[in-house]
Homo-oligomer: A and B are copies of this chain.
Amino acid sequence: MPLNLKTHTEHFTNPLYLESGRILESYDITYESYGEINDDKSNVVVICHALTGSHHAAGMYEDGKKAGWWDGLIGPDKTIDTNKYFVICTNVIGSCFGSTGPMSPKYPHNDPYRYKFPVVSIKDMVKAQRILFDRLDIHRVEAVIGGSMGGMQALHFSIHYPNFANKVIALATTYATQPWAIAFNKVASESILKDPDFKQGYYDPEILKETGLNGMAVGRMAGHISFLSQESMGEKFGREYKSDDGLFELFGKFQVESYLEYNGHNFTKWFDPLTYLYITKAINIYDLARGFDSLKDALKKVTANLHLISFSNDMLFKSSEMKKINDTLNLLNNKKHRYIDVKSDYGHDAFLVEFDKFKHHIKDALNG
């Protein structure tokens, strides 16, 4: 069967009550689906995206030049088999790819929210998705799966909507964002805020897409460091030097420098800087235990089969952070969770790259 890729945007006027106490009145949620829903709606799999991801999880985009961020895993006869499952990936609230975010028109006017946009949390992102699923008449799903910020959402589903998913699979994530990750986000936010072309949030997004925003490029370069590891950088780049520049020229470049420069500046052509500030804020304030007495107290809520997958050389969310969730569930005598630390040198981005190292774990989790 074909992938059957469909993109929709749903509009809501009933206000979304946010964790901050503020509301989002009138908002859109964009989502994408693959495969077909079965008669009793028992084959739904929800995929949650990461910081700079979108609802484009599978399939090809931009005239076939760009694949969905998990296209290697989702599709007909793939790990998350769209012949079997109806897969939905929702663009998070706060994003710049269709769902309402800081650059969306502020209801009931046409000007963008910019700084008037409320801070949203991971809990809010999940709440908005839950409301969407209700409208779609989906009340229980087979699985929720996500990595990094998507993993934060998956864990939130398991705690705040314990009867929603049979299985929850969280990869390369944590129970609460630690200062090392907050520090990388800080470099990016400071760099964006201090760029004069950012115009204190009052930039013209069309112009920025053309010229690029250097501040965001620099911030993204720092981000790319955190996504890799010393080992993967050593393997990818070593000390290779761009041959046309002499070693003793101040602006001569090592390959790793070219890589960061290209990815940093290219990023500013397709991602919005205010959105970057808001989504990294959501990641920074992420704490699974908020609203509970403790992490243990929060994890008592879990009833789904919970699969925790970390990567041994993840510099951003260390294996030990995922292990802490596992250990806490063990203390609670939870019998339905499983923790796997995938041996990898790649670093955080392993969940987007090294499919062969973990796809069988996802397959097992879905089948088991």
Q: A187: CB under 8 A from chain B?
A: yes
Residues of A in contact (CB 8 Å), total 61
Q: How far is the CA of A196 from the CA of B278 in the complex (A)?
A: 26
Indicate whether A318 sits within 8 Å of B250 (C-beta atoms), given known contacts A179-B238, A261-B186: no
25 chain-A/chain-B pairs, Cβ below 8 angstroms: A19-B248, A115-B250, A119-B248, A119-B250, A177-B239, A178-B234, A179-B233, A179-B234, A179-B238, A179-B254, A179-B255, A180-B228, A182-B254, A183-B257, A187-B222, A190-B261, A191-B218, A194-B215, A194-B218, A196-B196, A218-B219, A222-B222, A239-B287, A247-B285, A254-B284
Residues of chain B within 8 A (CB-CB) of A229 are 180
* Shortest Cβ gap from A297 to chain B (Å): 17
The A contact surface, by secondary structure, is: helix
Residues of chain B within 8 A (CB-CB) of A186 are 221, 256-257, 260-261
Copy number in the complex reads 2
**B257, A182: Cβ atoms closer than 8 Å:** yes
Q: A237: CB under 8 A from chain B?
A: yes
**B187, A248: Cβ atoms closer than 8 Å:** no
Q: A166: CB under 8 A from chain B?
A: no
Nearest chain B residue, comparing its CB with the CB of A321? B230
- 16 additional A-B residue pairs with CB within 8 Å, beyond A183-B256, A190-B214: A121-B248, A178-B234, A179-B233, A179-B255, A180-B230, A180-B233, A182-B256, A182-B257, A183-B224, A187-B222, A190-B217, A190-B260, A194-B218, A215-B218, A248-B285, A250-B277
